[in-house]
Structures are given as structure tokens and as C-alpha cells.
């Protein structure tokens, strides 16, 4: 999965998929901003400091920085929306790596957002199907 993003994009909502760590096949449902041991953070290329993103409640389809909202536990189990903080996508860094962590869930690989190319890809590419590995390699 990839997103095309322009440098300086604001009010961006990403859709992410959470696997249930117990079986690594089903979507993990019931996660939210208050889930124990949940966290989000990012680092921008060229910066030495990781930035924590406070997770907050939100509403489906509405942007709020740091919001983490379950889409529909019955129809789309494991699919969530995440409100990307504007400062994460601000001009100045060529790429940004975002990590979301929830106990009992596997949300991987992290998102790499390419500010110059305007593309976001999941990495590491060796975990993607062969066709996607080739596409990811060309987008770098």
C-alpha cells in the first residue's frame, strides 16, 4: 500500500492495518487511543530526535492530529484511521519514518514518507510481495 503525498501536506489521515499478534492472520479489533502501552512516534530524515505523537480520540472521517480511530470492527476488522500531525510532513526532510505500537497487535512495517518524491511506502521492502518490492525500489 502506498500514498502519494505532496511536501507540506496538512490534515492527512492514513489508513493502517493491525494484525492480531495471537494468530498473525486476523485483523486486531478494539484498539483506541487509550489502549494500554500504545504509542506513536516519528523521526524525520536528518534530525537527531524522535518525536512522540500523543494518541487522542477522534471521529471517523474527521482529521485530528494523533487521532486513532477504528473504522468498522465487523466489516473491516483491523483497519484504523490515524491523523498525521502536520509538523511530521512539513518541508525540510526528504523522508519521515512513522511507527505505531499497540500491545497485542502488529502494525508493520513502519511508513516511510518521501517528501521529495511525494510517495509514502511501507518498508522494509523485503517483507513485501515481489511485485511491490520492485515498485518500492523504483520509488526511492
CATH no. for residue 99? 2.60.40
Domain that holds residue 81: 2-139
pLDDT, residue 49, reads 95
Share of the chain above pLDDT 70, in %: 73
pLDDT, residue 108, reads 64
Specify the number of domains making up the chain. 1
Give 45's pLDDT tier (boundaries 50, 70, 90): confident
DSSP codes of every residue in the chain: -EEE--TT--SEEEEEE-EETTTSSSBP----TTSTT-EEEEEETT-S--EEE--B---TT---TTBEEEEETTTEEEEEEEEE-GGGG-TT-SEEEEEEE-TTEE--SPEEEETTTTEEEES-GGGS-HHHHHHHHHH-
Write the pLDDT tens digit of every residue in 56-114: 999 999 999 999 999 999 999 999 999 999 999 888 887 888 899 999 999 865 455 55
Amino acid at each position: 500500500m502506498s500514498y502519494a503525498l505532496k511536501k507540506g501536506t496538512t490534515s492527512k489521515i492514513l489508513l493502517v492495518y493491525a494484525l492480531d499478534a495471537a494468530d498473525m492472520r486476523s485483523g486486531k479489533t478494539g484498539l483506541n487511543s487509550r489502549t494500554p502501552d500504545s504509542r506513536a512516534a516519528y523521526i524525520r530524515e536528518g534530525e537527531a530526535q524522535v518525536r512522540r505523537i500523543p494518541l487522542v480520540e477522534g471521529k471517523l472521517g474527521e482529521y485530528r492530529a494523533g487521532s486513532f480511530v477504528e473504522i468498522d470492527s465487523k466489516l473491516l476488522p483491523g483497519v484504523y484511521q490515524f491523523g498525521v500531525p502536520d509538523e511530521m510532513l512539513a518541508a525540510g526532510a526528504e523522508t519521515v519514518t512513522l511507527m505505531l505500537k499497540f500491545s497485542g497487535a502488529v502494525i508493520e512495517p513502519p511508513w516511510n514518507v518521501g517528501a521529495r518524491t511525494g510517495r509514502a511506502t511501507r518498508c522494509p521492502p523485503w517483507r513485501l510481495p515481489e511485485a511491490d518490492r520492485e515498485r518500492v525500489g523504483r520509488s526511492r
